[in-house]
Structure 1
Amino acid sequence: MHLTRFRLNTARSGARRLLSSPRTMHAAVMNAFPDVLPTDTDTPRVLWRVDRNAKAEVFLYIVSPAKPDLTHVVEQAGWKERPNWQTYDYGPFLERLAEGHTWAFRLTANPVHSIRRKDGEPTKVTAHVTPRHQAQWLLQRQEAAGFRVLEKPEDQRLLPEGDEHELLVHDRRSNAFDKPEHQPAATANGKRKNRVSLVTATFDGRLEVVDPEALRRTLTRGLGRAKAYGCGLMTLAPAE
């Protein structure tokens, strides 16, 4: 596995076009892997995430089984006379993960749940839209994902409840777009078919490794839904 970081030149119109559409960014990312076919289910999934640290400091992260060739992204959204991306062998880092180690983490995800409004109706996937429910979504999945979000000391909790963990939910976004392989069409109730509505949130926090193998799967296969559209990629950094 490989981890790649690409800095986008936000002064260029091509970068702004990529950042405005998860569908367009997905296409650009997948074009970096000419040997990966859309129907190839045997190859590990390509994960990606956009980090908007500041207006002029925006990074694209990719985790992939093969090294990407992002030359076409440089032409649209990079700098022509400087290195634009770095790719690292992810394997040695993944192998060093051990139970009890603590790390800072970042994850952009699509927090959703299934609801049934009336008895007998099929369930419907619905997005969580409040920071509290989005945080709860992640906490409900932490054990199966191989980690435990660290808890704050009681004297550092600012709220009577909902502030127990070292976890920040931010950069909450809503997006809607049509799938590229279909033409928009209206249904009987006036809604367009093949319309994707996407609610995302970014989680920053600190975690403890409780199951290294499960955490390796999380880091390389993603967490949650909408992975094709920039969700599910968790990365770790040394915890200060």
Structure 2
Amino acid sequence: MNDEPVIAQIRLNPHSRDVQRDLRDATEMHRTVMRMVPDGLGNSPRHQAGLLYRLDETDTTSTLLVQAHHLDPDRLPTGYGKADIKSLAPMFTALRKGLAVRYRIVLNPAKRERLPLETKGKRGRIVPLSGAEADQWWIRRAADSGLQLHILTPTNMPPIRPRRQNPDSMRHSLVRYDGTATVSDPDALHAAVLAGIGRGKPYGAGLLSLAPAPAA
């Protein structure tokens, strides 16, 4: 085992009962992917493991991408799917200012409501964003993360509400963005890929995939 981050591409078995359960319930999906990281990571195991994941679905296949410092696909339920693991180190090595890339990310665009001054000390609700507001949110976050966007194509995903409710609970309105961009700050981009972007990371948001863009 080494400390280089890795990513697993898991082609899910549609006949697995565990897969069917997880596709219906994001809380169960999170529990399953957490089985792949080491035990004993303390009070914030997902953060300590650097775990991010995303579900990519087509009409015929479901593929789960899982990123972390260490992953053991043998800890997945029997018959869950076929996993291919690769290191992210070559991608990080290739990042340079001006590099043209294709990207994909599922995001939970949101903002915290501003409260009147007389409510000092209280925090406003977290409000999901949609449409043009969500697009502008991603453009700003991408710029902060070292990406200058050229094309962004949004696809609305099914919303998710965690089963465990708390006073700050919100429905996670997920949007997938695909497009092209130019690397403006390789160090910031490296950090964003490792940490993920935005809220909703336990529910499949925040994992940024990058690939070289075809030459014009």
Does TM, normalized by the shorter one, top 0.5? yes
TM-aligned CA deviation for residue 58 of structure 1: 1.1
Indicate if the aligned counterparts of 1:178 and 1:196 stay in contact, CA closer than 8 A.
no
Matched, 1:197 2:168: no
Map 1:148-227 to 2 at 5 A: 148-150=148-150, 166-179=151-164, 197-227=171-201
Deviations 1:4-61 (A, max 9, x none): 1001122433212111222111111111113352525783521111111x13211111
Partner of 1:2: 6
Deviation at 1:131, TM superposition (A): 2.4
Cα distance change on mapping 1:38 and 1:60 into 2, 3 Å: farther
Alpha-carbon offset, residue 169 of structure 1: 0.6
Gaps of at least 5 residues in structure 1 are 79-83, 151-165, 185-191
CA-CA distance at 1:172 after TM superposition: 2.5
Whether 1:60 aligns to 2:64 is: yes
5+ residue gaps in structure 2? none
Instruction: Tell whether 2:143 aligns with 1:143.
Output: yes
Structure-2 change in CA distance of 1:51 and 1:120 (3 Å): farther
Q: 2:48 aligns with which of 43, 47, 53?
A: 43
* 1:123 aligns to 2:124 (yes or no): yes
Rounded Cα–Cα distance in structure 2 between residues aligned with 1:35 and 1:237: 32
The alignment yields a C-alpha RMSD, in angstroms, of 2.2
Q: Percent identity?
A: 24
Q: Is 1:99 equivalent to 2:97 in the alignment?
A: yes
- Paired positions, count: 206
Contact 1:50–1:58 (CA under 8 A) maintained in structure 2: yes
- Residue matched to 1:19: 23
Q: Structure 2 matches for 1:109-120, cutoff 5 A?
A: 109-116=107-114, 118-120=116-118
8 Å Cα contact 1:4/1:63 also seen in 2: yes
3-state SS of the aligned residue for 2:160?
A: strand
Moved more, 91-100 or 12-21: 12-21
Between the aligned partners of 2:22 and 2:177, the Cα distance in structure 1 is 22
Alpha carbons of 1:142 and 1:177: their partners in 2 closer, same or farther (altered >3 Å)?
Answer: closer
The aligned residue for residue 73 of structure 1 is 76
Q: Match of 1:87? A: 85
| C-alpha contact (below 8 Å) 2:35/2:76 kept by paired residues | no
Q: SS of the counterpart of 2:143? A: helix
How far 1:71 moved relative to its partner?
3.0
SS in 2 for 1:19: helix
* Counterpart-to-counterpart distance in 1, 2:135 and 2:106: 12
- 1:37, 1:116 → 2: CA distance? 35
CA contact (8 A) 2:18 2:77 kept: no
Aligned in 2, Cα 1:117/1:76: closer, same or farther, shift over 3 Å?
Answer: farther
TM-score, normalised on structure 2?
0.86
For 2:85 and 2:40, the matched residues in 1 are separated by 18
How far the C-alpha of 1:105 sits from its partner, in A, is: 0.2
Structure showing greater radius of gyration is 1
